[in-house]
Amino acid sequence: MSATASLKRLMPSDILALKGKAPVVVLTAYTTPVARLADPACDVLLVGDSVGMVLHGLPSTLGVTMEMMILHGRAVMRGSDRALVVIDMPFGSYEEGPEQAFRNAARIMAESGAGAVKLEGGVHMAETIAFLVARGIPVMAHIGLTPQSVNTLGGYKVQGRGADGDRLNADALAVTEAGAFSVVLEKVPAELAGEISAMIAIPTIGIGAGVDCDGQVLVIDDMLGLFTDFRPKFVKRYAELGRTAAEAVAAYAAEVRSRAFPAPEFSFFDEVKK
């Protein structure tokens, strides 16, 4: 990446400045080729800990390590030069306290070159967020359904229904006051997400939280249809690449078995003998 290109990359302050002006476009990315595809259209590329499930076949995000996040963060940085790259802090890397969080966040940013980190939690993580921001670590917060806490939340359920909305309002205010530059709202009722978006001064990034959020994020593999058997309610399929890929693999296998591939145009010959 050239020095000129790096100057054009969006910063956390640029994302914050979009509040009330333009929707923030966010997609996950875990690899260099996908980052190259998504970078021109996106404001933020999120190197989510969902990489553990999407690329590594883990049953949840809990087994994701610092090394995995840094590795994939580097790959996404190499494939992008415009979007702000945000990297998830994995489970166990920040919950112990602000000092632990700073050590690991600083390592993620220093070793990957990314522009910010994301961590889960509201009121109980406000002190940690403030500690990081005061020391030069931009933070994207994440409230509502927090996958790293799925065992204590009782599963992947919608958060903030009924009286539980007060808890999410408090979480949103806490991360805003702590200095987060944006906050992900995951699986939150659309009405509540709209109220929170109007209430706080930082952009809300919705995933299953309705159209009134200040931006939207999806796992890119979901919206491209790479997994034919996974269809959460909040994901719109913009393509069916999984089905297309499966058909292509089947066609290749059939041609290999019938010796139709490689045809002469895909083969090399001894030109001297000709």
Question: Which of 67, 186, 195, 240 is an active site residue?
Answer: 186
Q: Which residue has the tokens 């919608």?
A: 158
- In the annotated binding site for Mg(2+), the residues are 49, 88, 120
Instruction: Answer yes or no: 186 catalytic.
Output: yes
pTM: 0.93
All domains in the chain, ordered by first residue? 3-240 (3.20.20.60)
Q: Phi and psi dihedrals of 44, rounded to 5?
A: -135, 135
pLDDT tens-digit map of 68-79: 999 999 999 999
Residue range 221-229: mean pLDDT, rounded: 89
What pLDDT, on a 0 to 100 scale, did the predictor assign at position 4? Answer: 39
CB–CB of 185/204 below 8 Å? yes
Question: Which residue, 140, 153, 191, is CA-closest to 24?
Answer: 140
Question: Which residue, 151, 89, 85, is CA-closest to 120?
Answer: 89
What pLDDT, on a 0 to 100 scale, did the predictor assign at position 172? Answer: 98
What pLDDT, on a 0 to 100 scale, did the predictor assign at position 274? Answer: 55
- In the annotated binding site, the residues are 49-50, 88, 118, 120
Count H helices and E strands in the chain, helices first. 12, 8
SS3 25: strand
pLDDT tens-digit map of 43-69: 999 999 999 999 999 999 999 999 999
Q: What angle do CA 234, 206, 186 make, to 5 degrees?
A: 70
